[in-house]
Amino acid sequence: MFLLAALMFAVTGFVSPEFHSSFAQSASGPVKILTLERAFPLDEPVELSELRARDRVRHARILLGGGNGGRQNSVGGVVDFPVQGSSDPYLVGLYFTKVKLGSPPTEFNVQIDTGSDILWVTCSSCSNCPHTSGLGIDLHFFDAPGSLTAGSVTCSDPICSSVFQTTAAQCSENNQCGYSFRYGDGSGTAGYYMTDTFYFDAILGESLVANSSAPIVFGCSTFQSGDLTKSDKAVDGIFGFGKGKLSVVSQLSSRGITPPVFSHCLKGDGSGGGVFVLGEILVPGIVYSPLVPSQPHYNLNLLSIDVNGQMLPIDAAAFETSNTRGTIVDTGTTLTYLVKEAYDPFLNAITNRVSQLVTPIISNGEQCYLVSTSISDMFPSVSLNFAGGASMMLRPQDYLFHYGFYDGASMWCIGFMKAPEEQTILGDLVLKDKVFVYDIARQRIGWANYDCSMSVNVSVTSGKDLVNSGQTCLNISTMDMLLKLFSSILLALLVCISLT
CATH of the domain at 100: 2.40.70.10
Give the count of domains, the chain. Answer: 2
pLDDT at 87: 47
Instruction: Check if the beta carbon of residue 12 is closer than 8 Å to that of residue 467.
Output: no
Q: How far is CA 479 from CA 13, 365, 453, in A?
A: 12, 50, 20
Q: What is the mean pLDDT of residues 489-497?
A: 38
User: Which stretch, 6-15, 59-68, 206-215, 365-374, has highest mean pLDDT?
Assistant: 365-374
Domain enclosing residue 218, as ranges:
78-258
pLDDT at 16: 36
Kindly state whether residues 335 and 219 are assigned to the same domain.
Answer: no
Q: Which residue has better confidence, 173 or 362?
A: 362
Kindly state whether residues 240 and 147 are assigned to the same domain.
Answer: yes
Kindly state whether residues 166 and 106 are assigned to the same domain.
Answer: yes
Domain-embedded: residue 14: no
The dihedral region occupied by 136, where left means phi > 0, alpha psi between -120 and 50, and beta the remainder, is left
Torsion of CA 155, 159, 163, 164, to 10 degrees: -120
pLDDT tens profile 104-121:
999 998 877 777 788 999
Q: What is the mean pLDDT of residues 400-428?
A: 88
Domain-embedded: residue 72: no
Beta-sheet pairing, 106-113 with 79-83: unpaired
Domain-embedded: residue 55: no
Short-list 9, 37, 5, CA closest to 23? 9
Residues of the chain with pLDDT > 70, as a percent, come to 66
pLDDT tens profile 118-171:
899 999 999 889 999 887 789 999 999 999 999 989 888 887 876 443 444 567
Kindly state whether residues 92 and 133 are assigned to the same domain.
Answer: yes
Domain-embedded: residue 330: yes
Q: Where are the beta strands (DSSP E) in 10-136?
A: 32-33, 36-38, 79-83, 95-101, 106-113, 120-122
Amino acid at 34: L
pLDDT at 55: 64
Q: Residue 43 above 60 pLDDT?
A: no
Given strand 287-290, what is the order of strands in its sheet? 32-33, 79-83, 274-278, 261-266, 434-439, 444-449, 287-290
Residues of the chain with pLDDT > 90, as a percent, come to 35
Kindly state whether residues 187 and 289 are assigned to the same domain.
Answer: no
Residue 459 β-bridge partners: 280
- Integer Cα distance of 24 and 455 in angstroms: 13
So which residues are the catalytic ones? 113, 330
